[in-house]
Amino acid sequence: MSAKLPVGILGATGIVGQRFIQMLEHHPWFEVDWLAASDRSEGRPYAEAARWRLKTAIPSRVANMTISPAKPDGAPKIIFAALDAAIARELEPQFAAAGCAVVSNSSALRMQSDVPLVIPEVNADHIALIETQPWRQSSRGFAVTNPNCSAIGLVMALSPLHRCFELETVMAVTMQAVSGAGYPGVASLDILGNVIPYIAKEEEKMEEETQKLLGTLKDGRIEPAPFAMSAQCNRVAVEDGHTESVSVRLKRKAKPEQLIAAWNDFRAEPQKLRLPSAPEQPVVYMHAHDRPQPRFDCDLGGGMTTAVGRLRPCNVLDWKFTVLSHNTIRGAAGAALLNAELLKAKGYLG
Ligand SMILES: NC(=O)c1ccc[n+]([C@@H]2O[C@H](COP(=O)([O-])OP(=O)(O)OC[C@H]3O[C@@H](n4cnc5c(N)ncnc54)[C@H](OP(=O)(O)O)[C@@H]3O)[C@@H](O)[C@H]2O)c1
C-alpha cells in the first residue's frame, strides 16, 4: 500500500487538469486516486475522455482510471480543482463542506474575504484565513486558491521589490499565451497572425489579486496593498508562457544592481522548507538584452521560476522591465501543487 496521500482532480480532462496529472506522476507526497470532469466524460476511461495536449505521455496508471461524477461522495480528502469559474462556484463549496481540502485554480472564491489567495513565496502567512471559514468549523474542510496566471508572474517579480523598496505605482501590459484560454480555447482563425486586446475579466483580476496577494493579514482579514495599479491584457499567438511589460514607481530610491540583487536573492518559505515543487531560485534575472522569451525561457526551474529581464529607467515612472512566467505550471497546476505542499508542511492535510 502506498504511503502517499490520495488526491483527486476536479476538471481532470482540461488543460490545467492535464498539468496536474503530469506534475503528480512522480510526486513524493501525493498520488492521484480519483478523477472527475463533466457528465460528458463521466464513466469513461481517462485516456479516452481527455484530449491529451502535453508533450509527455499520459501516465499509465491514470490512463485507465474511470472518470467519476463531480460529487464529493467517494472523493479523497484532498482535491485539486481546475474548473471553469461558474462551475467551481457551485462545486468547490460542496467539496469543502464535505470535509475536503480544496486547492483551487479558479477565480470563483479567490476574492472571498475568508479564502486565502496564496503564492507560498509571497504570502504564506495568509493561509491562516482558513481558520475563519465556516466549512472549517463544521467539517474541517476548507478552500485555498492560487492567483490568475498573469497575476502570479507579476507578483513574483513585484514581491522582492515591494519588500525592499515599497511599491507606489505599477503598470503592466500582458502578452498571454493561448494555452491560458483552456482547450479548445481561442479559435485558430482568431489568433493566428493576430493580437486580441481583450481577455474577459483578466485586467480586473490582475489588479485586485495583486493587491490582495501583497496585502497584509490583520485581525483575521487581508488589508490590500495600497499602491496604484493598472493592467492591460492581450492574447497573442504563443503556445505557453505569459510575457508582461511592467513599469514601477518605488517609494525608496534604488540602483539597478540593487533591484537585480533583490530578484536573484529572493528566497522564501518554500525554499527553506524544501517543498518538492519549489524552484531553487524563484526569480531569475536574465542579463541578455533580448530575454526572457517564452519559447526559450518559460520552462526555467521546471516552469516554476519567474524570469525577469530588460531592466531600464522609465521616463514616466522609475523603472521598466519584462517578466515571463509559465501559465499552466507556475500559473496554474504548479501553483496549486506548491500550495498543497505548503499546507501539508504546515499540518493542514492531516
Ligand atoms: N489554462 C491556464 O493557463 C489557466 C491558468 C490559471 C487558471 N486557470 C483556471 O483553471 C480553470 C480550468 O482551466 P482550463 O484551462 O484547464 O480549462 P479547460 O481546458 O476548459 O477544462 C475545463 C475542465 O472542467 C471540466 N468541466 C466542464 N464543465 C463541468 C461540469 N459541469 N462539472 C464538472 N466538470 C466540468 C471539463 O471537463 P470535460 O472535459 O468533461 O468537459 C474540463 O475537465 C479555469 O477556472 C481557468 O480560469 C487556467
**How far apart are the C-alpha atoms of 185 and 181, rounded to whole Å?**
5
Cβ neighbourhood burial of 10 (10 Å; 0-12, 13-18, 19+): buried
Residue 233 is a catalytic residue: no
pLDDT in tens, 124-135: 999 999 999 999
Number of helices (H) and strands (E), helices first, in the chain?
13, 14
Evaluate if residue 312 carries a pLDDT over 80.
yes
pLDDT band at 156 (very low <50, low <70, confident <90, very high): very high
pLDDT in tens, 220-238: 999 999 999 999 999 999 9
Residue 149 is a catalytic residue: yes
Give the three cell numbers for residue 317.
515612472
Tell me the three state secondary structure of residue 171: strand
Give the three cell numbers for residue 195.
493580437
Q: Torsions phi, psi of 163, nearest 5?
A: -65, -40
Tell me the average pLDDT across 290-306: 98
Ligand 1, atom 32, lies closest to the CA of: 38
Cβ neighbourhood burial of 270 (10 Å; 0-12, 13-18, 19+): buried
Percent of all residues in the chain with a pLDDT value above 70, rounded to a whole number:
100
DSSP 178-228: GGGG-SS-S-HHHHTT-EE---TTHHHHHHHHHHHHTSEEETTEEEPP-SE
Ligand 1 center–CA 165 separation, angstroms: 38
40 Ramachandran zone, left/alpha/beta (phi>0; psi -120 to 50): alpha
Q: How far is CA 128 from each of CA 110, 118, 131, 140, 233, rounded to the nearest angstrom?
A: 15, 11, 6, 14, 32
Does this model's pTM top 0.85? My answer is yes
Residue 266 parent element (H or E): none
Contact 65, 88 (CB under 8 A): no
Query: Residue 350 has what pLDDT?
Result: 80
Ligand 1, atom 1, lies closest to the CA of: 180
Query: Residue 150 has what pLDDT?
Result: 98
Q: Torsions phi, psi of 339, nearest 5?
A: -60, -45
Q: How many CA atoms lie within 13 A of 262 on its CB side?
A: 18
Residue 149 CB less than 6 A away from ligand 1: yes
One of 27, 126, 162, 242 is an active-site residue; which one?
A: 242
The DSSP letter of residue 70 is S
Ligand 1 center–CA 139 separation, angstroms: 26
The DSSP letter of residue 282 is S
pLDDT in tens, 175-233: 999 999 999 999 999 999 999 999 999 999 999 999 999 999 999 999 999 999 999 99
Q: Which of 15, 90, 328 to mutate to test the pocket of ligand 1 (most atoms within 8 A of CB)?
A: 15
Q: Which of 9, 10, 13, 16 to mutate to test the pocket of ligand 1 (most atoms within 8 A of CB)?
A: 16
pLDDT in tens, 56-96: 999 999 999 999 999 999 999 999 999 999 999 999 999 99
Q: Which of 62, 84, 298, 329 to mutate to test the pocket of ligand 1 (most atoms within 8 A of CB)?
A: 84
pLDDT in tens, 158-173: 999 999 999 999 999 9
Evaluate if residue 2 carries a pLDDT over 90.
no
Contact 9, 35 (CB under 8 A): yes
Residue 108 CB less than 6 A away from ligand 1: no
Q: Which atom of ligand 1 is nearest to the CA of 67?
A: 40
Evaluate if residue 1 carries a pLDDT over 60.
no
Task: With both helix axes pointing from N to C terminus, report the angle between 149-165 and 256-264 in degrees, rounded to the nearest 10.
Answer: 120
**How far apart are the C-alpha atoms of 181 and 71, rounded to whole Å?**
25
Residue 105 CB less than 6 A away from ligand 1: yes
- Which residues does 41 contact at the CB level (< 8 Å), separation at least 6? 13, 49, 50, 67
**How far apart are the C-alpha atoms of 160 and 157, rounded to whole Å?**
7
Contact 331, 119 (CB under 8 A): no
Q: How far apart are the first and last CA of the chain?
A: 18
Query: Residue 205 has what pLDDT?
Result: 98
Contact 331, 152 (CB under 8 A): yes
Give the chain's mean pLDDT.
Answer: 97
Residue 106 CB less than 6 A away from ligand 1: yes
Evaluate if residue 263 carries a pLDDT over 60.
yes
Question: By C-alpha distance, which of 344, 340, 343, 345 is closest to 81?
Answer: 340
Ligand 1, atom 29, lies closest to the CA of: 38
**Can the peptide bond before residue 197 be classed as cis, meaning omega within 30 degrees of 0?**
no
DSSP 34-81: EEE--TTTTTSBHHHHS---SSSPPPHHHHTPBPBPSSSTT--SEEEE
One of 100, 149, 233, 298 is an active-site residue; which one?
A: 149
Residue 84 CB less than 6 A away from ligand 1: yes
